[in-house]
Chain A
Amino acid sequence: MDSLSLEVPAGEICVLVGPSGCGKTTAMRMVNRMIDITGGDILLDGSSVKERRPAELRREIGYAIQQIGLFPHLSVAGNIATVPHLLGWSKDRIAARVDELLELVSLDPDETRHRFPAQLSGGQRQRVGVARALATDPPLMLMDEPFGAIDPINRERLQNEFLRLQREIRKTIVFVTHDIDEAIKMGDRIAIMQRGGKLSQYAPPAELLMSPANDFVADFVGADRALKRLALQRVRDVDLWKAPLVRVGEPVAEARAKTADSEVHYPLLVDDSGRPLGWLSERGLQGERVVAELTSKSETVLELDDILRDALSDLLAEEAQYGPVVDEHGQVCGVLSIEILAHSLKTPPEQVPHGADAAA
């Protein structure tokens, strides 16, 4: 480990990512003095960790590791109560805190608190691990591959759950992983490390994907980094085209005028409450008034909360150039096209949201 320097803003998730042996875990463990630094310094809120007694320092920093490390001989409540107990909290305060934390991580306190770790599923254990790390509400948390030992489906769910939790609790988190996709999903900022503890790039995920600092970073984030950027944004984050909305019975001249004004070639037929019915065909525009003659029955309907990558996938599956986008009430609010997606990939990174705000 040699001259690693980075600053983690309060309330953000900083992901340390890199190949095995790059020193990411070592770097994380230096923060709570599980490994002592031989040179340089680590400042928390401006004060050096070197001036603190390790055990006391660690009680103020949440700690969650890959194998979770729950104490097998203690109940869930006993595990969560470890640090509060060390700090001499009263029994009532500890019991209340345990229940509060179990609810926070979506576990039923009455079901769970008296169980032993062996009686929990992998996902439940992981949640208890997070609850335990949060026990004393520490401002800083260290997490070393906390979702590492969990199957992919549950892993995805736990990641989403954790990001939702993080939006509430706003902890400063140092998060270690070897998985670049997890890093992109979880991180507000990502530090890509190379073997020997060398920092290659420290940047928000979008910037990392957009302009990798060197070949190592480009290689590590992968050849599909443009597609990964699409995973960082939602439909609501891009400028949509205006849809030429028409209703049955509307004068054809008006419908034609709207369509001529739009990038879209066909008017979009909607019902009385603005929900999309489909693209109107030429035959629907033959008379005085618009009649319901649609080009095709099945149409992709996208939602504002869809991730751009999924939206693109839907469009490609329908062999469509564009598709209507509806809001939470099902009303059309615009059109997303492949052209817009291509354009969004050229957007400068600072306009792209990331981390807890972007991911599901």
Chain B
Amino acid sequence: MILELAQVQIRDRTDTCESNNGFCPDWIADNFDRYVDPFFQHAYLTVAAVAIGFGISFSLALVAYRRRWLINPVTQVTGILYTVPSIAAFFLLLPITGRGDDTALIALVAYVLLIIFRNVLAGLDNVPEETKDAGRGMGLTDRQLLWRVEVPLALPEIMAGLRIATTTTVGLATLAFFAGAGGLGEQIFSDITFKSNVVVAGGLAVVLAAVLDGLILLVQRAITPWTRVVAAR
């Protein structure tokens, strides 16, 4: 009964294209509105999860960079979080945090920690030894060296990590509706047999991933101008 009602909400079955579950441009044009809110919800879940995940794992990486013994435990814990299937995480969290954005975000954040942590750490570790030596030799304190030299030089790797994390999260967030957080996934699964619906909702997820990836790339180019210069004459 509920399912029937939902299907009726999506489309009425009198028309041929729609009743054949085909790809119907007219229907898409008429019904595009219904995808707008889920699209922005999806974008919100992705950006919030990556931002929170970045905050946590960037801090962890900075701490572990100076205290090397922390690298293994942090990698193991975030590795476990990375391997737990998101759907399982949603259902495990439901009794504790209830349905809604919080539950979805916790699971998504847990998933990106490892990716960003490893990239930040790799970026910091790749800073040339002589650059650090020169910095220290000129009188930069450890903190100045970190923020003025090491972090800027790690930016290409850090941004690469952000891009992977973001693209992955757009995909994973299609499952967020299991936690009651909506998003494009909810639209896809609302009528998974109807090609027009799946194409539009799925396509929007791809567009979202591409747009976010492009934005991060633009930011990266703006803040790492030295990586694009032409080598010496």
Contact = CB atoms under 8 A, between A and B. Distances in A.
A63 B229 CA distance: 27
B140 A55 contact: yes
Interface string A58-84: 111001011111111110000000110
Interface stretch (A116-124, A172-180, A184-192): A116-124
Contact of A116 (B130, B132, B144, B229): B229
Interface string A106-121: 0000000001111111
Given A69-B131, A72-B153, A118 B137 contact: no
B152 interface: yes
A50 to B, nearest CB: 16
B75 to A, nearest CB: 27
B196 to A, nearest CB: 49
Given A71-B149, A86-B144, A32 B137 contact: yes
A63 B140 contact: no
Interface residues of A, number: 33
Contacts of A68: 130, 134
B34 interface: no
Nearest to B224: A73
A83 B137 contact: no
A65 B153 CA distance: 19
Given A82-B138, A83-B139, A116 B133 contact: no
Contacts of B130: 65-69
Contacts of A32: 137
Contact of A65 (B137, B155, B225): B137
Given A63-B138, A119-B233, A142-B137, 19 more contacts: A56-B139, A57-B139, A58-B138, A59-B138, A65-B134, A65-B137, A67-B130, A69-B130, A69-B133, A69-B137, A70-B134, A72-B153, A72-B226, A73-B153, A86-B138, A86-B140, A117-B226, A118-B226, A121-B232
27 contacts: A34-B137, A54-B139, A55-B140, A59-B138, A59-B139, A60-B139, A63-B134, A63-B137, A65-B133, A66-B130, A68-B130, A69-B131, A69-B133, A69-B135, A69-B137, A72-B226, A73-B149, A73-B155, A74-B226, A83-B139, A86-B144, A116-B226, A116-B229, A119-B230, A119-B232, A121-B232, A121-B233
